[in-house]
Amino acid sequence: MPTGPAPLESDAWSRLWRAGVLHSCSTAIEGNYDGEIAAFWNARFNGLQAGQRVVDIGTGNGALALLAKGHAAQRGIDFDIHGVDAADIDPPHWASGATSFDGITFHARTRMEELPFEAGSVALVTSQYAFEYSRTREPALQEIFRIIGHAGTAAFLLHSSDSLISMTLRQQHEACALLFDETKILDLAHQWVSSLAGSPASSQGTAHIQHAFQSGSTRLVAAASALPEAAILRKAFHYLHATLEQAQGSPWQALQYLANARDDLENERTRLQHLAGAIMDLRELEVLHQHCIEAGYASSILRPLDQVAGSRMGWTLVVSP
């Protein structure tokens, strides 16, 4: 099976949002964010007056923009809500199950390092697992300071090295190495199904290919019990199972299905690699906090956020003068 270059990060995110999930923790949290996370955001929205501007950076499918809109509606007011993302987002068309994005302005293919807002024009910048993805955090931070000026606030929920998400990441990486580098199970599945379709990708014969595929699968299944948090592995099993089922009826259709499955898994691997670079250790968080204080945001507060006791979801940083 031809393997192209790894997908670009922004393309990998575009693919996720186009699939319709509302937010990037959709495997762990159903519907929109709730509990402590929603409480944190609602406390920020509480400080806003009617008509004030909220800018959600790295908004994805607009989960946080929707929370802001819902909060304002409960108070019988409107905010001027914007969602910005480097990916090719379009929440009104792609987000499934969402009520209505009316009144929210989305800015696709817009990087947080260069925001289309005037200095001091934003009352609240929000970032939920987004700011830390910037490859150049300092310019992104300066840009946020510029748009909030000396009266606005910026609030971040940040990926941290002590969170549940980063604990599962090690297993996800191991699963990726097994799938893509060690067993090359998708290549083997492609060769096997191709041979069933009457066009062997190798001269070694169908029996040999089938044997190689089966030993790769056995190895993956054996590894799976030690990697219970590796969601990508479970997804790959599902895809492989469905490919083989389809191959009984139509090998050509199965090959097309497998190509799409591979695409999806490769995009997920790219997002996991991006996530690994985004996770901040506790020292980095403290440095960021200090930096905000020294920049004149003297009331900035850094705190851990646990969704329920023992389930850390990251750290919050509220940047205010």
Ligand X SMILES: C[S@@+](CC[C@H](N)C(=O)[O-])C[C@H]1O[C@@H](n2cnc3c(N)ncnc32)[C@H](O)[C@@H]1O
Residue ranges binding ligand X (CB under 6 A): 10, 13, 23-24, 57-60, 63-64, 85-87, 111-113, 128-130, 133-134
Select 123 or 275, whichever has its Cβ closest to ligand X.
275
Q: How far is the CB of 278 from ligand X (least distance, A)?
A: 8
Q: How far is the CB of 154 from ligand X (least distance, A)?
A: 14
- Give the CB-nearest residue to ligand X: 58
Select 128 or 246, whichever has its Cβ closest to ligand X.
128
Select 18 or 211, whichever has its Cβ closest to ligand X.
18
Reduced to 3 states, what is the DSSP secondary structure of residue 303? strand
Q: How far is the CB of 10 from ligand X (least distance, A)?
A: 6
Q: Residues 216-224: contacts with CB within 8 Å, 24+ apart?
A: 216/183, 216/184, 216/185, 216/188, 217/183, 217/185, 219/178, 219/182, 219/183, 220/178, 220/179, 220/183, 220/185, 223/174, 223/175, 223/178
Q: How far is the CB of 74 from ligand X (least distance, A)?
A: 21
Q: How far is the CB of 245 from ligand X (least distance, A)?
A: 33
Q: Whole-angstrom Cα distance, residue 174 to residue 196?
A: 31
Distances (CA, A) of 38 to 42, 44, 128, 157, 174: 6, 10, 11, 11, 32
Select 272 or 292, whichever has its Cβ closest to ligand X.
272
The two tokens of residue 35 are 């509990």
Amino acid, single-letter form, for residue 222: A
Kindly give the pairing relationship between strand 153-158 and strand 312-319: antiparallel
Which residue in this structure is represented by tokens 């054996």? 222
Select 85 or 187, whichever has its Cβ closest to ligand X.
85
